[in-house]
Structure 1
């Protein structure tokens, strides 16, 4: 509570049950509750200038790559890929025509469905 003004604010209004443990290094945090929005009150704003100084672009890229890896769920990705690859192989073996664009779009769609991003 002493290190985070956000936790301090939630503690002062008795809303600690709404917090979950996450690690975030924000520059700016703005939040409002629905009653505050309905009353037209401006959001509570916290600025963290020391986080702005410690920014590393590669850390952001690595964090996004980890998030995508987790979203794609590589351990169960074969459940999405095997039917598409098998269908593509059958289509190629049964006919002389094979539309690579359709195959790649279908493969991409299966990966996105698996990732839950569509």
Structure 2
């Protein structure tokens, strides 16, 4: 699998009115994208409620997406923070959650 070739999908990050990731809706979105045979998924970018999610909610979104894709396609994960230190911390946490198994890894963060 060539990294990031073909069609990349950037779904919204659905949330409920309490600001928690709606994991059922997220998994449904990811499943539909997988069925449509997209080549990669860009998760936690600038679409949807990403900027308003806590680190824990971002972690939940990543875990659910990696579980739903089951390594069938690369998942590129956005990291952000109010500071470079915060963004690096999110990057380290994403790596610890085994983000590499779906194709997201060092190359995705250059």
When the two structures are superposed, what TM-score results if normalisation uses the length of structure 2?
Answer: 0.23
Higher relative contact order (CA 8 A, sep 6+): 2
Say which structure is richer in helix. Answer: 1
When the two structures are superposed, what TM-score results if normalisation uses the length of structure 1?
Answer: 0.22
